[in-house]
């Protein structure tokens, strides 16, 4: 067998995943090149610069744990990090670990092809360059392919329009403008209050009303920063043993166990504390519809309390899905924004958008004059970024063909028929149901250990089997079926936000800690479910 490659590993993407993959793999003596489409590192945080962009996980744990020095030296300024601060952090990581010399910026991968004879991957870039490597690792993120709805007339719009995930680097001036925001997911909910303060008028086009929990953001004091640093070992241990990679455990208590008063007090305390931890208030919020309804009801009552116009409040009240069955947003004065004179809510389920005209948006029942439109319409999640790479496996089989009916992977890490390809936070892994850096570090560590073992044994090819993949897909479905998550019929977890996308529940819902144990077991059993040759 001939073996010609330029390097050991090609990594696609220089966000949280790609940076750590480079650091880890290079650290074990492999030659690695990272290809990054953006002109800077940061991935998600490089592209998503929309007003109000901030992480919903708290700063101190939405961060790498692999270096004690890094976590002790970095000073987060707020409870939740703003996009520029995360970018500064990731740039610091790139410098501190001397990563830049192996990262090629402004280099978009347009295709990747497995070479059966040479047992390597050939990757073609948008500049027509061809690079090869023994292993290909995708670090392309789960939410990086913008979903811009195809609304008739968009190309005739005389004003400017932007998707939040492709935001201009020099910002957008809303002053004096009539702005429309389409979408009320986590992104729209972050952007609405900020844009409302700057624009002359803001019209929010809502398709599905959403639950949201107040973030309660604020500055991080020197004392609290020090307390966190003193406790980091324990914080990181809890993250790794948790269901969602957060440093708190979900209560084991049923929401139906306490009296109504006690339950309300528990929710109220969680509401006042703010953040994603609200969903950890009880153990059965995502498994028992009656338990879920108690949380959903509590938030509905809050919306009614906050929003002064009862009609607007009712439109903002989610009734078609339970709390946290779609990814729960957290906000800073989102519902309050609808009390402003300059904010209008349009329910596009009631009156769908029919067309965009040169001067605005026309729904079935009204015309909304606009100078600027913001699409906070989300992403072709999880599969979009991978399918966009035009990956072809053994025998030239396109991934697009293999996944025509939805994604199939083993552990979210490998795809049968695509040897030597590893997908960080791929479909079938906990990824988006987790604090991402925690999920990413676990995947990168597993892949790095796996490659070290292959080299130590003189093996050159690793591929999961159809059987292992089939069993994982079944387990994935079964894990999702034990939760209420697949019941939210408009969820991007299911691909429901992209017209024509197969409805498959994509992330692994069995919990992060349980998943990590499975991965460890697979490795311990000699990489059970994989065929390794050389
Ligand atoms: P999203 O959750 O998919 O929300 C998109 C919104 O656009 C939804 O309200 C959707 O309505 C609406 N929409 C889509 N197509 C539409 C159309 N043709 N007409 C009208 N409305 C349309 O996307 P996102 O808000 O960007 O968030 C995606 C994920 O990114 C989040 O769930 C989260 O995991 C992550 N995120 C994280 C943070 C953070 O941590 N700071 C911030 C933002 C995003 P339907 O619900 O009816 O589909």
Identify the CA nearest to 181 among candidates 23, 168, 171, 194: 194
On the CB side of 404, CA atoms within 13 Å amount to 4
Where do we find the tokens 């894990």? 479
470 and 429: one domain?
Answer: yes
320 and 432: one domain?
Answer: no
Q: What is the pLDDT of residue 6?
A: 83
Any domain includes 107: yes
* 400 C-alpha to ligand 1 centroid (Å): 24
Q: What is the pLDDT of residue 2?
A: 38
In the predicted model, is pLDDT for residue 406 greater than 90? Answer: yes
Angle at 377 between CA 375 and CA 380, to 5 degrees: 130
Cβ–ligand 1 contact at 315 (below 6 Å): no
Query: How many domains is the chain built from?
Result: 2
Any domain includes 166: yes
pLDDT of 409-426, one tens digit each? 999 999 999 999 999 999
pLDDT of 225-280, one tens digit each? 999 999 999 999 999 999 999 999 999 999 999 999 999 999 999 999 999 999 99
* Domain span at 180: 154-221+241-375
Any domain includes 388: yes
40 and 81: one domain?
Answer: yes
Q: What is the pLDDT of residue 326?
A: 97
Any domain includes 235: no
Task: Please give the mean pLDDT across all residues of the chain.
Answer: 97
63 and 178: one domain?
Answer: no
355 and 405: one domain?
Answer: no
Report residue 1 CA to chain centroid gap.
40
Cβ–ligand 1 contact at 149 (below 6 Å): yes
Under 8 Å CB-to-CB from 66, ≥6 apart: which residues?
20, 23, 24, 441
433 and 472: one domain?
Answer: yes
Cβ–ligand 1 contact at 185 (below 6 Å): yes
Final residue of a structural domain among 359, 375, 391: 375
171 and 297: one domain?
Answer: yes
Final residue of a structural domain among 320, 355, 375: 375
Of all residues in the chain, the percent with pLDDT exceeding 70 is: 99
Any domain includes 456: yes
395 and 519: one domain?
Answer: yes
* 21 C-alpha to ligand 1 centroid (Å): 28
Final residue of a structural domain among 375, 398, 423: 375
- Segment 447-457 shows an average pLDDT of 98
Residue nearest to atom 41 of ligand 1 (CA): 55
392 and 368: one domain?
Answer: no
* Structure tokens belonging to residue 355: 């067309």
- Segment 494-505 shows an average pLDDT of 95
* 466 C-alpha to ligand 1 centroid (Å): 33
261 and 126: one domain?
Answer: no
pLDDT of 455-467, one tens digit each? 999 999 999 999 9
Any domain includes 234: no
17 and 133: one domain?
Answer: yes
- Burial tier of 55 (Cβ tally within 10 Å: 0-12, 13-18, 19+): buried
338 and 475: one domain?
Answer: no
In the predicted model, is pLDDT for residue 4 greater than 70? Answer: no
Q: What are phi and psi of 419, to 5 degrees?
A: -60, 150
Any domain includes 212: yes
- Segment 352-357 shows an average pLDDT of 98
Looking up residue 25, the CATH number of its domain turns out to be: 3.50.50.60
In the predicted model, is pLDDT for residue 1 greater than 90? Answer: no
Cβ–ligand 1 contact at 182 (below 6 Å): yes
Are the C-beta atoms of 211 and 267 separated by less than 8 Å?
A: no
Q: Which atom of ligand 1 is nearest to the CA of 377?
A: 7
Of all residues in the chain, the percent with pLDDT exceeding 90 is: 99
pLDDT of 34-80, one tens digit each? 999 999 999 999 999 999 999 999 999 999 999 999 999 999 999 99
Q: What is the pLDDT of residue 3?
A: 42
Q: How confident is the model at residue 5 (pLDDT cuts 50, 70, 90)?
A: low
Cβ–ligand 1 contact at 348 (below 6 Å): yes
Q: Are strands 421-423 and 213-214 parallel, antiparallel or unpaired?
A: unpaired
């Amino acid at each position: 067998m001939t073996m010609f490659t330029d390097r050991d590993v090609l990594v696609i993407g220089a966000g949280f995943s790609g940076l750590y993959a480079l650091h880890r793999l290079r650290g074990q003596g492999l030659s690695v090149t990272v290809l990054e489409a953006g002109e800077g590192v940061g991935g998600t945080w490089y592209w998503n610069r929309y007003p109000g962009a901030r992480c919903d996980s708290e700063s101190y744990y939405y961060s790498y744990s692999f270096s004690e020095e890094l976590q002790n030296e970095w000073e987060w300024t707020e409870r939740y990090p703003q996009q520029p601060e995360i970018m500064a952090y990731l740039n610091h990581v790139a410098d501190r670990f001397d990563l830049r010399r192996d990262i090629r910026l402004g280099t978009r991968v347009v295709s990747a092809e497995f070479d059966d004879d040479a047992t390597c991957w050939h990757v073609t870039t948008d500049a027509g360059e061809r690079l090869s490597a023994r292993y290909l690792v995708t670090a392309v993120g789960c939410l990086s392919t913008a979903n811009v709805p195809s609304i008739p007339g968009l190309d005739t719009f005389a004003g400017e329009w932007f998707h939040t995930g492709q935001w201009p680097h020099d910002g957008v001036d809303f002053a004096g403008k009539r702005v429309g925001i389409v979408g009320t997911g986590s992104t729209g909910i972050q952007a609405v209050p900020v844009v409302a303060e700057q624009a002359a008028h803001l019209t929010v086009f809502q398709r599905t009303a959403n639950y949201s929990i107040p973030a309660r953001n604020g500055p991080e004091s020197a004392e609290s920063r020090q307390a966190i640093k003193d406790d980091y070992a324990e914080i990181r241990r809890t993250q790794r043993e948790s269901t969602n990679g957060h440093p708190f455990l979900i209560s084991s208590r049923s929401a139906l166990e306490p009296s109504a008063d006690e339950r309300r007090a528990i929710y109220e305390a969680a509401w006042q504390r703010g953040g994603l931890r609200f969903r950890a208030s009880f153990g059965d919020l995502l498994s028992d519809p009656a338990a879920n309804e108690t949380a959903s009801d509590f938030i509905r009552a809050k919306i009614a309390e906050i929003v002064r116009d009862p009609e607007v409040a009712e439109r903002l009240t989610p009734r078609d899905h339970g709390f946290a069955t779609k990814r729960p947003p957290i906000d800073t004065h989102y519902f309050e924004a609808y009390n402003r004179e300059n904010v209008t809510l349009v329910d596009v389920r009631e009156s769908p958008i029919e067309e965009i005209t040169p001067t605005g948006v026309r729904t079935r029942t009204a015309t909304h004059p606009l100078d600027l439109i913001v699409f906070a319409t989300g992403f072709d999640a999880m599969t979009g970024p991978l399918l966009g790479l035009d990956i072809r496996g053994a025998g030239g089989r396109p991934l697009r063909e293999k996944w025509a009916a939805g994604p199939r992977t083993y552990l979210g890490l490998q795809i049968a028929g695509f040897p030597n390809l590893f997908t960080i936070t791929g479909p079938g892994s906990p990824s988006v149901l987790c604090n991402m850096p925690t999920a990413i570090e676990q995947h990168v560590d597993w892949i790095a250990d796996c490659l070290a073992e292959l080299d130590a044994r003189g093996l050159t090819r690793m591929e999961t089997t159809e059987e292992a993949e089939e069993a994982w897909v079944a387990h994935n479905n079964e894990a999702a079926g034990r939760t209420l998550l697949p019941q939210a019929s408009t969820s991007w977890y299911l691909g429901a936000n992209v017209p024509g996308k197969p409805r498959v529940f994509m992330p692994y819902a069995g919990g992060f800690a349980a998943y990590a144990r499975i991965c460890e077991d697979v490795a311990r059993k000699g990489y059970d479910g994989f065929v390794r040759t050389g």
